[in-house]
Amino acid sequence: MQQDLIDFRRELHTYPELSGAEKDTEKRIINKLKEFQPTQIIASLGGHGVAAIYDSGKAGKTVLFRADTDALPIQEVNDFAHKSVYEGVSHKCGHDGHTAILVGLAKKLNQYPLKAGKVILLFQPAEEIGIGAKAVLEDEKFKEIQPDYAFALHNVPGFPKGQIVCRKGNFTPAAISLVIKMQGKQAHAAQQENGINPDRAIASIMHQIQQLHHPDLGSKDFIKFTTIYTRIGSKDYGISAGDGELHYTLRCWNKEKLDQAKQQLTDLIRKTCHENKLGFTIDWIYYFAANINDSYAVDCIEKAAKANQFDYLDKPLPFQWGEDYGLFTENISGAMFGLGSGEDSPALHHDNYDFPDEIIPYGVDTFYSIAQIILG
């Protein structure tokens, strides 16, 4: 076990930063990377992102490995020595661990340099709010990198520690959130007929959305809606409600299905609001592109796991969370895999979750072997 990587992971855990505010995290990453002498470091990539380039100086492919670096607005309940020093902010998705793994890869590439091509280590900010991948991919500094392949991992509670979990095709769905705001007219509670209460429209939209639900993971028509929040009027008992809102997330397997669903929802909301004489707005927020794993890239992951004698699981069905790495697989051949973080681990985004340090070497060695397989 490499104590320096554990110490670094715990340092990030102690000083977590929210999406888009990873200023000190960026500095810590750059300082640590300097120990392992990359050919070049690119800072301020798509916000507080960092790329470290290991160039063999010889012709060959360019392989990118990506880690995410942001934390969540969750109050940590754990009481260990490395607990978050910031009120209401903590690493509850294991991005501290993903970052430590990529730093471990830098260390290994420095110790055992590759013989051809280039490796890019990308530390991506703002994953949790779905804007970091886009910001990095659109950054002029990134356009000079042009990777041939891109890989990433996410730790997965519920799977044995160190197990490599992957599949060809869909790995995570396309996901988006929806905010519907409706404007009617308030009236005296005794004379609601003089106002426009959005209650019937909201009940009708909720019912219609339930009808669209198709939660069969094995079907190409899979679509899942989750009600996040709803409100009608206010707690003023003399007033008939004059406005309301509904918030949902929805997910399905690809962009075409998502675009279809968005159109269908827009039509039914428009129709229902018009029928009920309500003004309305629809906002689509937090878009996560579907993560579609390239077949050759998955073969490389499987070979890399087996070369290290790590347990490999070909997952029959995709995961259901949204992950903004999907935008990389939309633009670059590549894949994401899961790294088991223990069957008994608390779930991601739970207030008592902590990344298990024991799985760091599994991530480092799998990434390094993938680079070896592609670059020779």
Q: Enumerate binding residues for Zn ion (CB under 5 A).
A: 93
User: What gap in Å lies between CA 66 and CA 145, rounded to an integer?
Assistant: 13
Nearest approach in angstroms of CB 167 to Zn ion is: 18
Nearest approach in angstroms of CB 70 to Zn ion is: 9
Residue among 75 and 281 whose Cβ is closer to Zn ion? 75
Which residue lies nearest Zn ion, judged by its C-beta? Answer: 93
Give the closest residue to 300 by CA, choosing from 334, 338, 340: 334
Identify any residues that bridge with 54 across adjacent strands, giving them in sequence order.
Answer: 119
Residue among 93 and 332 whose Cβ is closer to Zn ion? 93
One-letter amino acid at 15 equals Y
In this structure, what are the phi and psi dihedrals at residue 52, rounded to the nearest 5 degrees? -115, 130
CB atoms within 10 A of CB 332: 19
Supply angle C-alpha 16, 22, 26, rounded to 5. Answer: 105
Distance spanning both ends of the chain, measured CA to CA: 27
Residue among 93 and 205 whose Cβ is closer to Zn ion? 93
Give the closest residue to 292 by CA, choosing from 249, 231, 334, 262: 334
Nearest approach in angstroms of CB 41 to Zn ion is: 24
Nearest approach in angstroms of CB 139 to Zn ion is: 21
Q: Please report the DSSP string for 323-348 in residue order.
A: -TTHHHHHHSEEEEEEEE--TTSPPT
Nearest approach in angstroms of CB 127 to Zn ion is: 6
Residue among 137 and 268 whose Cβ is closer to Zn ion? 137
Nearest approach in angstroms of CB 26 to Zn ion is: 18
Residue among 93 and 182 whose Cβ is closer to Zn ion? 93
| CA–CA distances in Å: residue 58 to residues 40, 105, 149, 365 | 16, 20, 17, 23
Residue among 12 and 232 whose Cβ is closer to Zn ion? 12
CB atoms within 10 A of CB 139: 18
User: What gap in Å lies between CA 180 and CA 190, rounded to an integer?
Assistant: 27
| CA–CA distances in Å: residue 82 to residues 19, 86, 154, 204 | 20, 12, 21, 49
Residue among 31 and 75 whose Cβ is closer to Zn ion? 75
Residue among 124 and 369 whose Cβ is closer to Zn ion? 124
Nearest approach in angstroms of CB 158 to Zn ion is: 14
Task: Provide the 8-state DSSP code for 58.
Answer: S
The number of residues in the chain equals 376
User: What gap in Å lies between CA 310 and CA 303, rounded to an integer?
Assistant: 10
Nearest approach in angstroms of CB 132 to Zn ion is: 11
